[in-house]
Amino acid sequence: MSPINLGQALQDGTARIGATDARVLLAHVTGRNAAYLIAHPEIGMRQQQETAYRALVERREAGEPVAYLTGEREFYGRPFKVSPAVLIPRPETELLVDLALERIATSTAARILDVGTGSGCVAIAIASERSHCKIVALDQSYEALAVARRNAFELRVGNVAFLQSNWFEALRDEHFDVIVSNPPYVAAGDPHLEAGDLRFEPRSALESGTDGLDAIRHIAAEGAKHLAPGGWLLVEHGHDQGAAVRALFEAAGYADVFSEQDLADIERVTGARLTVPQPAR
Ligand code: GLN
């Protein structure tokens, strides 16, 4: 059987996984962009390319996330490598970066901490926008840290120190001006965990106790010990957790508590400031 051309490949793929995903996977396999694929349906494919494409379409049909199949996802305008060891960067998390950048002056050096960095997308986006600042990025997973370090290297970001750490444990008495986190916040047993991309993502990056707030409670309590006076804590959370997170920040002694909506008008990030210095651990 002679190999098919680009048009046939797109048509076959579209019938099985939809036009968008078919285009992305064919672009990945051929090294051509989507516009080229559409403009040149008559171009033939090498047998090897066709075999690789068919295998990816099959895996996509079985539910694997496109980002894991291509090994890449864009975040904050930059291409990030991903693997099943890390959560796939999501567009709503760009809000966390924006809110952090608003609180980091472009002139003075701020100390910034990212807790649970995963692919490193948040830390690296902040670091590349604030190259005069030092960022510390923590994750408990060595596999995730390997992905994050590779992203920093490929995006030529040299001002992030990646550190293996169970939450804040590896820190000593360092204090930070801004602490950011996109922690796990899905409630155990939430049916979303058994649907779509989430089935393939690390459970430790998604699920956090019966109400989904275990990690955020821990970050609020421990974060207080690592914030400089006046320093900000910013955390992403679920669509219905804004009020609960504000309440637990207030209970933990934070001031200036606020929540901000993402582009879908959903409360997505809650922040607060520590005005009274806390004793170091
Ligand atoms: N926003 C993700 C989802 O539910 C969850 C990411 C997270 O837990 N940080 O799809």
Q: How far apart are CA 278 and CA 228, in angstroms?
A: 8
| Ligand 1: centre distance to CA 125 (Å) | 19
Which pLDDT value is given to residue 278? 59
Query: Quick count: other Cβ atoms within 10 Å of Cβ 77?
Result: 8
Per-residue pLDDT tens digits for 153-181: 999 999 999 999 999 999 999 999 999 99
Per-residue pLDDT tens digits for 8-46: 999 999 999 999 999 999 999 999 999 999 999 999 999
With a 6 Å cutoff on the Cβ, whether 67 touches ligand 1 is no
Q: What is the pTM of this model?
A: 0.94
| Ligand 1: centre distance to CA 250 (Å) | 23
Per-residue pLDDT tens digits for 252-263: 999 999 999 999
Closest ligand 1 atom to 92 CA = 1
Query: Quick count: other Cβ atoms within 10 Å of Cβ 7?
Result: 14
106-139 per-residue burial string, b: 16 or more CB within 10 A, e: under 16:
eeeebbbbbbbbbbbbbbbbbbbebeebebbbbb
Is the CB of residue 125 less than 8 Å from the CB of residue 99? no
Ligand 1, atom 4, residue with closest C-alpha: 186
Q: How far apart are CA 30 and CA 50, in angstroms?
A: 9
Per-residue pLDDT tens digits for 82-120: 999 999 999 999 999 999 999 998 888 999 999 999 999
The full set of domains in the chain, from first to last, is 6-62 (1.10.8.10), 84-273 (3.40.50.150)
Which pLDDT value is given to residue 244? 98
Q: How far apart are CA 184 and CA 182, in angstroms?
A: 7
* Cβ neighbours of residue 131 closer than 8 Å, sequence gap 6 or more: 159
